[in-house]
């Protein structure tokens, strides 16, 4: 919430209760399952256990993210719009 809204007296959300250990475990498990499904869709093994393969995959992902063109929300360069 921005400071302007808080100054106008609008209610803030109550603070969240800390997560239980069971909740944290459920979140970790969901993340692991999602990562496995993603790897399978991309033709990679379900589990990557070789540390060298993990390092290579991480480097490939970093490179792919760094060469992706930035997303633009302006209409600059788009004369048809």
Domain limits of the chain?
21-67
Write the pLDDT tens digit of every residue in 1-47: 455 555 555 667 777 888 899 999 999 999 989 988 888 888 877 77
Q: What is the pTM of this model?
A: 0.40
Cβ atoms 47, 36 nearer than 8 A: yes
Token pair of 41 as six digits: 């869709």
Measure CA 46 to chain center: 19
What pLDDT is recorded for position 30? 92
């Amino acid at each position: 919430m921005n400071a302007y809204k808080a100054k106008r007296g609008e209610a803030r959300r109550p603070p969240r209760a800390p997560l239980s250990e069971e909740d944290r475990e459920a979140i970790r498990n969901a993340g692991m399952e999602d990562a496995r499904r993603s790897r399978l869709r991309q033709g990679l093994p379900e589990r990557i256990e070789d540390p060298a393969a993990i390092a290579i995959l991480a480097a490939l992902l970093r490179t792919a993210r760094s060469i992706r063109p930035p997303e633009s929300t302006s209409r600059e360069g788009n004369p048809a719009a």
